[in-house]
Amino acid sequence: MDGTSTQGASRRILVIEDNEDIATTLADLLELEGHEPILAGSGPEGLDAARRHRPDLVICDIGLPGMDGFEVAAALRANADLRSTVLVALSGYGRPEDKEKAVAAGFDEHLTKPVRFEDLEALLAR
């Protein structure tokens, strides 16, 4: 990562992740790219943050306390104000069927943990 946003535009990006180390690392990387990260540690916190901040993009862990990432995706897709928000699933599982399940649940993209810098950069470039 070179410290400048891949597309030159800063985005508000909500990271919903209950593992604090992963969440802060992602936030740091996003900040280095010139974006505005917002962190939430559970499904309900993530939904609240999405409603309050209206992010451009949401990176959401699948295994979350309170409600899982699939439930979060369904709730975001059901909200007219957030329906067009780009949703990215974050999971320790990266088999083709895991990615298909994420897309079927309403996610636009899927990242597998541990997230590689190159994959994050490619995602932000799209």
CA angle, 85 then 108 then 86, to 5°: 15
| pLDDT score at 8 | 58
| pLDDT score at 4 | 43
Question: Splitting the chain (126 residues) into consecutive groups of 10 residues, what average pLDDT does each group show?
Answer: 53 97 94 95 98 97 96 96 94 92 94 89 86
Which residues of the chain form beta strands (DSSP E)? Answer: 12-16, 36-40, 57-61, 86-91, 109-112
Residues in the chain: 126
Contact by Cβ (8 Å): 112, 91: yes
| pLDDT score at 103 | 93
